[in-house]
Structure formats: C-alpha cells, structure tokens
Amino acid sequence: MDVIDVIVAKRDGHELTAEQIDWVVDAYTRGAVAEEQMSALTMAIVWRGMTRAEVSRWTEAMLASGERLDFSDLPRPTTDKHSTGGVGDKITLPLTPTVAACGAAVPQLSGRGLGHTGGTLDKLESIPGWRADLTPAGMRDRLRDVGAVICAAGSGLAPADRRLYALRDVTGTVESIPLIASSIMSKKLAEGTGSLVLDVKVGSGAFMKDASAARELARTMVAIGTDHGVRTVALLTAMDTPLGRQVGNALELAEAVEVLAGGGPEDVVELTVTLAREMLAAAGLTAAKDPAEALRDGTAMDAWRRMVAAQGGDPDAPLPTARERRTVLAAATGTLTRLDAHAVGLAAWRLGAGRARKEDAVAPGAGVTLHAKPGDPVRAGQPLFTLHADEPERFDRAAQVLAQGYEVDGEYDPLPLVIDRVG
C-alpha cells in the first residue's frame, strides 16, 4: 500500500477502507510512515471528517497497536468514567472509591495535566508516598482487593495514540471530533473496562465550547464504545465555571476528601453522585447501594483510604501547601454573574499548578480558592479569591487574568450542571 494514495483519498473526501486504515496506523506506529505524511493525513481528516465505520476502524487499529487489558474474570463488574477535562474537575477522586463502595470495580487510567486543566495523577501525587505506576498485575490485585485503582496508562496501551497525539499537538490537528473520539476511546477500550460513562464538558473551560459540538463528540464516542461491545453512555456537563471552590492539585484533593467525608461543595457532590449512578447502571448493578448513601455512611471514605494506601500513599498525611498566599478583593457590590472557568484555570496555571511542557514539575500547593460562585451576592472589598503560590512574583499576572474573568451584575446565564445525556 502507498501512503500517498491514502492521504490523497482523504484529501479528496473519499471514505478510507478498513485495509487502508489498518495499514496506515500500523505503519505509522512502526515508523514506516513519516511524521510529515501522517501530519498531512490528520489535517485531511480535520477538514474531511470520518464516517462512523472509519472512526470505529481507526479506533480498532489504534487499540490493536498495543495490549488490551482484560478484567472480565473478576467477581465484580468493571466500569469507568472519562472526563474530557475541565477546571476544578476533581470528580474522579471521590467518584472512583464511591462506585467501588457500591459494588463495582473501577480500573481508572488517568493522565497528568497539560495546559489549563489539571490532571488526576498530579492531584493524587500531592499525597506523600502515593505512586501512579502499576503493572497490569498490580492493577488486577487492587481491583480484586479494593475495587478501585487510579493509575497511569502503561506505554503498552494504544502506543499509536501516544505517538499520534504528540504529533497532533504540534500540527494544529487536535481539534477534530473523529480524532479526539478515537484517541480517547482507544485508551479507554485498552484498559479493559466492561462499561464506560463519559463526562463531556461544555463551556469556556472545556475543549468543546458549545453543546452542539460536545453532543457530536459524545455521540461519536458512544458509537465507538457500542461498536466494541462496551456499554457506553455520555453526559454533557457544564464547564463555564469551575467545579467546586478549589482549583490546584493539593487544594482539589483536600476538597475531594471533604466530599468523601459527607460534605463538600454542592456541585461536586451532585456530579459525583450522578456519574456514580450512571456507572452502576451501565455495569448492570441496578440493585446496588445508592452512591449518596455511600458518601453519608463512610463506606466511600473507607474505600478511598484503602485505595490510597494500596498505592503507597498515607491518607492521613498532611497535604503540601504553597509558601505564599494573596487575597484578591471584589471590585464591586452586587451578584457575581460570571466566573470564567478558562480564566481561573489559566490563573492556577500561572501560579504553578500546571505545566507548560510535559517534562515540567507542578507545584502541588499552588492554585486558586474561590470565595464566591456565580449567583452569590458579593460586596466591594470582600475576599473573592485566595491565590496560592511558592513564588510571590507569580501573583500579579494571575490576578490580572482573574480580573478579566469575573463580572458583577452582568447578564446571568449559567449552564445547568447536567446539560444532556447521550446513549
């Protein structure tokens, strides 16, 4: 087969055959297709799109590039959640042990953050001793003993995506629904979950800024999951404003623990419980304990403590804090009508909570505490944000970003927390 024929076929708007897709993904993974050729093909896909058959086959080919874990022999059904990423999105932390406490096993492979949204592994790594790297056998042991595991994806899972995502990142070809959907789903299918709930974020802090694009991404991913025999549903949820009141690694982890202790912000609790119910239903556990009850009666917290300890973490250890803090005061009196997720994410990133390049370290204690949420009354001069950073010279730029990111007594048009359900 000739790679130029494949590029030209897609450039001219033709549907690629299964043989072309299998060949090009495999040849690229082996290094037999050059980066510039794959980059031309992905750009053609950005412009021409893919049919359902193409996107399903593309995902299959990426899945076939590596190993696929299989936990179907475990006594509990497996189920997982994937979020397309948002600001203050710490939901995986309380959700995974809560679902385990209700009877399912959760094999959650997570990533580190790049850009303005945080990564679940960065948050967990603020716990002294906790480690992200597990072998497949280590995952299996924890799924059997605890029912919950959150760890890094090993390099053997969907290696084609690892390579392709790095290429897309530097060639302006990330923004393509078939490429995003196949990238996410190849990794999720490789982790061996029996069912999957997708949390597709919508709004300024998300990949998908509007609900119609998010709905198309959700439908594409649900179709891929279904084509691969994995019961998949998607919720479209709001990311116009951050989730909860803490943004930053250790700050978010502490907030997640509050939720596990039966408290925490309303939106984080509501989304945790809603997604947990969806996961249990997708796993076929219709008579399971209700997740809200697991948060109230302490069983979700017990599962959290066992999950953390099983990966070397001390659940009782104090979390790291930033060396410096600065309070930002509200400039006006009235109702807070806008608190922009992207601005808060960017501010947290400037404070050191995120990384600019993959190899950078994050500052675990850095971030932003929100003292008001949209809809709350505020008075001029009251604390609106607390900024946390190790270096005080970071404060001014973060405060400048935040000053543009909120509005008092403007138009108030919040998205509902759960916007839609697909599947």
Which residue, 183 or 249, has its beta carbon nearer to ligand URA? 183
Query: Minimal distance in Å, beta carbon 182 to ligand URA?
Result: 8
Contacts 24+ apart (CB under 8 A), 167-170: 167/35, 167/38, 167/39, 167/42, 168/42
Please tell me the count of residues contacting ligand URA according to CB under 6 A: 6
Q: How far apart are CA 186 and CA 193, in angstroms?
A: 12
Instruction: Classify residue 47 as exposed, middle or buried by CB count within 10 Å of its CB (0-12, 13-18, 19+).
Output: exposed
Which residue, 20 or 183, has its beta carbon nearer to ligand URA? 183
Q: Which residues contact residue 391 at a Cβ distance below 8 angstroms, ignoring those fewer than 6 apart? A: 323, 324, 352
Q: What angle do CA 269, 197, 48 make, to 5 degrees?
A: 125
Look-up of token digits 């061996």: 192
Q: Which residues contact residue 32 at a Cβ distance below 8 angstroms, ignoring those fewer than 6 apart? A: none
Which residue, 24 or 180, has its beta carbon nearer to ligand URA? 180
Torsion angle of C-alpha atoms 230, 155, 85, 361, degrees rounded to 10: 160
Which residue, 165 or 325, has its beta carbon nearer to ligand URA? 165
Catalytic (active site) residue 90:
no
Among 80, 161, 199, 340, the one annotated catalytic: 161
Near ligand URA by CB under 6 A: residue from 180, 221, 300, 353: 180
Query: Minimal distance in Å, beta carbon 180 to ligand URA?
Result: 4
Catalytic (active site) residue 168:
yes
Among 65, 83, 110, 183, the one annotated catalytic: 183
Q: How far apart are CA 192 and CA 383, in angstroms?
A: 46
Query: Minimal distance in Å, beta carbon 224 to ligand URA?
Result: 13
Which residue, 92 or 183, has its beta carbon nearer to ligand URA? 183
Catalytic (active site) residue 231:
no
DSSP collapsed to 3 states, 123-177: HHCCCCCCCCCCCHHHHHHHHHHCCEEEEECCCCCCHHHHHHHHHHHCCCCCCCH
Residues in contact with ligand URA, shown as a per-residue x/- string from 55 to 84 under the rule CB under 6 A? ------------------------------
What are the Cα distances from residue 264, in Å, to 35, 90, 261, 296? 47, 12, 8, 12
Which of the ranges 33-41, 48-56, 172-180, 307-315 carries the binding residues for ligand URA, by CB under 6 A?
172-180
Which of the ranges 177-185, 188-196, 311-319, 371-379 carries the binding residues for ligand URA, by CB under 6 A?
177-185
Among 168, 215, 231, 388, the one annotated catalytic: 168
Query: Minimal distance in Å, beta carbon 164 to ligand URA?
Result: 8
Residues 220-279 that bind ligand URA (CB under 6 A): none
Near ligand URA by CB under 6 A: residue from 8, 138, 144, 165: 165
Q: Which residues contact residue 415 at a Cβ distance below 8 angstroms, ignoring those fewer than 6 apart? A: 202, 203, 238, 240
Residues in contact with ligand URA, shown as a per-residue x/- string from 184 to 213 under the rule CB under 6 A? x-----------------------------
Which residue, 114 or 281, has its beta carbon nearer to ligand URA? 114
Q: Does 183 bind ligand URA (CB under 6 A)?
A: yes
231: β partners: 195
Query: Minimal distance in Å, beta carbon 206 to ligand URA?
Result: 11
Q: Does 174 bind ligand URA (CB under 6 A)?
A: yes
Q: Does 40 bind ligand URA (CB under 6 A)?
A: no
Among 81, 163, 187, 394, the one annotated catalytic: 187
Phi/psi for 51 (5° steps) reads -80, 170
Which of the ranges 27-35, 175-183, 282-290, 364-372 carries the binding residues for ligand URA, by CB under 6 A?
175-183
User: Using CB atoms, what's the residue nearest to ligand URA?
Assistant: 183
Residue 126's identity, in one-letter code, is S
Which of the ranges 98-106, 178-186, 310-318, 388-396 carries the binding residues for ligand URA, by CB under 6 A?
178-186
CB 110 within 8 A of CB 150: yes
CB 76 within 8 A of CB 280: no
Query: Minimal distance in Å, beta carbon 306 to ligand URA?
Result: 29
387: β partners: 326, 368
Three-state DSSP state, 107: strand
- Hey, how many other C-beta atoms are within 10 angstroms of the C-beta on 292? 18
Query: Minimal distance in Å, beta carbon 278 to ligand URA?
Result: 20
The residues carrying an active-site annotation are: 82, 161, 168, 183, 187
Residues near ligand URA (CB under 6 A) are 165, 174, 179-180, 183-184
